[in-house]
Amino acid sequence: MLLEIKNLHAAIDGKEILKGLSLKINKGEVHAIMGPNGSGKSTLSKILAGHPSYEVTKGEVIYEGANLLELEPDARAREGIFLAFQYPVEIPGVSNSQFLRLAYNEKMKHHGKEELDPLEFNDYLKEKAKIVEMSSEFFKRSVNEGFSGGEKKRNEILQMAVLEPKLAILDETDSGLDIDALRIVAEGVNKLRNSENAIILVTHYQRLLNYIEPDFVHVLADGKIVKEGGKELALELEAKGYDWVKAATI
């Protein structure tokens, strides 16, 4: 098993958001986590990545057999956890390639593998950029600065391609994308999907799941998983709305 979440409770600023969430993920699987606004979807993503503002009050998260919650966010990342942000952050004055090379080499160093010099990395990056149809013009630009919404999301997937995570969490990656950008992003994710990694798709809408087909769908409401099923559950949700799940659980 790659990841096991057991009875997870978590709070931000003293307010409990997750109220006993459990989830198991194996390599090669794609899990969609759906739910209405405020159900705790993004909180789950941030907790897995180690955001300092969230506090785990109860429960466990086991990743590759070890306690994930003990690790700093950067250590988690080097162990293969990747979060594609809903709102990617701008880093003025730092070029995309400089940032990505640093991130890539940190991972390589951690795993005792050879680091790449700027020229080698540039070649590597060019290959990866094809996955999300990004031109090398983006490499020189400051990280996410002046990027359109779609470009930012493509840049997230580019980073995923570069870092080759074992567990990728895509937090509302489809939000704010027009149909072309959505297709590019989704196709990119599909190309990166393989038997050695797992993907968690956090999304409000079923639309993304037309492009990236999940193995499992979990519906989150009020900090707990209230319904689980295969990809057909997403369609049912789309048709009946979240009130249907909420009503069913009461």
Partner 1 sequence: MSTATLEHLANREYKYGFVTDIESETIPKGLSEDTIRLISSKKNEPEWMLEFRLKAFRNWLKMTEPDNWANFDYPKIDFQNMSYYSAPKQKAKKQSLDEVDPELLKTFEKLGIPLSEQKMLANVAVDAVFDSVSVATTYKKKLKEAGVIFCSFSEAVEEYPELVQKYLGSVVPVNDNYYAALNSAVFSDGSFVFIPKGVRCPMELSTYFRINTQESGQFERTLIVAEERGYVAYNEGCTAPQFDTNQLHAAVVELIALDDAEIKYSTVQNWYAGDENGKGGIYNFVTKRGACRGKNSKISWTQVETGSAITWKYPSVILQGDNSIGEFYSVALTNNAQIADTGTKMIHLGKNTKSTIISKGISAGKSNNSYRGLVKVMPKAEGARNYTQCDSMLIGGKSEANTFPYIEVMNNSARVEHEATTSKISEEQLFYLQQRGISQEDAISLIINGFCKEVFRELPMEYAVEATKLLGMKLEGSVG
Site residues, partner 1 (CB under 8 A): 49-53, 72-74, 76-78, 82-83, 85, 88-94, 98-100, 102-103, 106-107, 110, 142, 159, 163
Strands 167-171 and 15-25: unpaired
Least distance from C-beta 129 to partner 1, angstroms?
16
Which of residues 28 and 73 has its CB atom nearest to partner 1 in the complex?
Answer: 73
Q: Tell me the C-alpha to C-alpha distance, in Å, between residue 70 and each of 47, 49, 50.
A: 12, 11, 9
Side chain identity at 234, as an amino acid letter? A
Residues 6+ away with beta carbon under 8 Å from 65: none
Smallest distance, partner 1 to C-beta of residue 75, A: 8
Toward partner 1, which CB reaches closer, 87 or 244?
87
Neighbouring residues of 115: CB distance < 8 A, sequence distance ≥ 6? 105, 108, 109
How far are the Cα atoms of 139, 172, 188 from residue 191, in angstroms, in the given order? 21, 19, 5
| Contact (Cβ atoms closer than 8 angstroms) between residue 63 and residue 2 | yes
Note whether 84 and 170 are within 8 A (CB). Answer: yes
In angstroms, what is the minimal distance from the CB of 72 to partner 1? Answer: 7
Shortest gap between Cβ of 165 and partner 1 (angstroms)? Answer: 10
Of residues 35 and 50, the one with the C-beta less far from partner 1? 50
SS3 of 130, please? Answer: helix
**Are 148 and 173 in contact, with CB atoms under 8 Å apart?**
no
| Nearest distance in Å: CB 24, partner 1 | 23
Farthest-apart Cα atoms in the chain, separation: 59
Judged by CB, which is closer to partner 1: 73, or 149?
Answer: 73
Closest CA to 209 of 29, 31, 2: 31
Indicate the residue among 163 and 185 with the shorter CB distance to partner 1: 163
Question: Least distance in Å: CB of 214 to partner 1?
Answer: 23
Residue 106 CB, nearest distance to partner 1 (Å)? 4
- In whole angstroms, give the CA distance from residue 170 to residue 151: 15
Residue closer to partner 1 by CB (options 152, 227) is 152
Q: Which is nearer to partner 1, 14 or 239 (CB)?
A: 14
